[in-house]
Each structure stands twice: as structure tokens, then as C-alpha cells.
Amino acid sequence: MKWYDFLVLRALLFNEANELAEKKSRGYGSEDDIFANFKLPEIIGVMSAEMGAWLRLSDKVVRLGRQLVKGEEYVGFEDLVDTVLDTLNYAMVIVALRYEKDAKFREYLSRKLGVDLGIRE
């Protein structure tokens, strides 16, 4: 595959990941807080919201491994592409949760991205 072809494929997959995240977030969060479901373990004192998202991410990595090793296109109702897209989205959720609650991380990420998103605790 040539670099340009990969960039096009990657852009299409990221767009699909955005659409998948939007669809899935409707069923879990709330209008006021799309990450309410991730924050529940923190609220009840089990683990941080970021660790909860990491746990979900690790489930996806295990599923992806099964799909690759066993050559299974689907595990349950989820295909390999959706598993990869979910993996991307969970990783982004971890960044967003950290951004939301950690002022130093917000400053760091704002510098890294070259923009202040204006998101606060």
C-alpha cells in the first residue's frame, strides 16, 4: 500500500469511528455528560473513570486478538473493523476523561494540539 492510499483509508476509518462513537454514546451517557457511564466506577469508588475506560479498551484488544488469531471475522455481533474502531474510540475517551478533570493535562494537550478547546471540569 502506498502512503497516500493509507492516509485515505485512515481518514475513512476515523470518520467511521466518529459515527460509531456518536451512535454508541446515545445509549450510555446523558445529555449533560456523555461519559456518565465511564464515571460510574469512580463515583462508587471502584476505580478512576480513565481506568474504567482502559478496562473496556483491554476487552476490545482481547477481542481483536481473538479475531486475528482465530481468523474470526465476527465475535458475537461485532466484526473486526468495528472492534478496531471501538479500540480507537476507547483510547480517545481516556484522553478526553483526563482532559476534563486534570488542569495540567489540559494545558499540556492544548499546547500539543495548538488550541484551547475551552473544556473545563
Which range marks the domain in which residue 85 is found?
Answer: 3-113
Residue 85 · residue 17 · CB < 8 Å: yes
Residue 72 placed within a domain: yes
- Would 102 be classed as within a structural domain? yes
Neighbours of 34 (CB within 10 A): 16
Q: Residue 34: inside a domain, yes or no?
A: yes
- Residues 58 and 64: their CA atoms lie apart, in Å, by 10
Q: Is residue 43 within 8 Å of residue 101, measured between CB atoms?
A: no
pLDDT for position 13: 97
Let me know: does 64 contact 80? Beta carbons within 8 Å. Answer: yes
Residue 121 placed within a domain: no
Q: Does a structural domain hold residue 57?
A: yes
pLDDT tens string for the chain (121 positions)?
Answer: 999 999 999 999 999 999 999 888 888 877 888 899 999 999 999 999 999 999 999 999 999 999 999 888 878 888 999 999 999 999 999 999 999 999 999 999 999 999 988 776 5
How many structural domains are present in the chain? Answer: 1
Q: What is the DSSP letter of 74?
A: E
